[in-house]
Amino acid sequence: MKTILLVDDDPDQLEQLKFQVIRFGYHPVTACSQKEGELLLEEITPDLAIIDLMMENQDSGFILSYRIKQKFPQVPVIIITAVTAECGMKFSLETEDDKRWIKADKYIEKGIRPDQLHREINKLLKV
């Protein structure tokens, strides 16, 4: 069973993600902060990571994604966020310049439907 690391400081969002990941047939491992996520990376090698962008700092998700890619370059990372809806800031992975500084494989706005999330996870895991 593939392991998916879930990191989000919103306990409701984290629980919802965990529920969906279990429903999709994967094993979730959860953390509620960038720091806790980094500690888990000392113990596990996830098959995929889904991390919130804004946690204890505004760029916690970018930092954690970068650290995951440094340690495990083969692990796909999905960054999820509500930053566009909340503050109007927009990020993407559409250009090569974006891909150079955002070390993630997918960038998704929060509110994604479960079937869409399932498809994205399966695409990245090549299932």
CATH of the domain at 77: 3.40.50.2300
How many domains are contained in the chain? 1
Q: Is the confidence at residue 80, as pLDDT, over 80?
A: yes
Q: How confident is the model at residue 33 (pLDDT cuts 50, 70, 90)?
A: very high
CA–CA distance, 36 with 119 (Å, rounded to integer):
27
Q: Is the confidence at residue 29, as pLDDT, over 90?
A: yes
The candidate with the shortest Cα–Cα distance to 104, out of 127, 122, 124, 89, is 124
Q: What is the pLDDT of residue 85?
A: 45
Domain residues for the domain of 91 are 3-125
Q: Is the confidence at residue 84, as pLDDT, over 80?
A: no
Q: Is the confidence at residue 107, as pLDDT, over 90?
A: no
The candidate with the shortest Cα–Cα distance to 53, out of 114, 2, 104, is 104
Q: How confident is the model at residue 45 (pLDDT cuts 50, 70, 90)?
A: very high
Pairing type for strands 77-81 and 48-52 reads parallel
* Residue 75 and residue 41 in contact, taking contact as beta carbons nearer than 8 Å: no
Element (H, E) at 49: strand 48-52
For 40, how many CA atoms within 13 A lie in the half-sphere containing its CB? 20
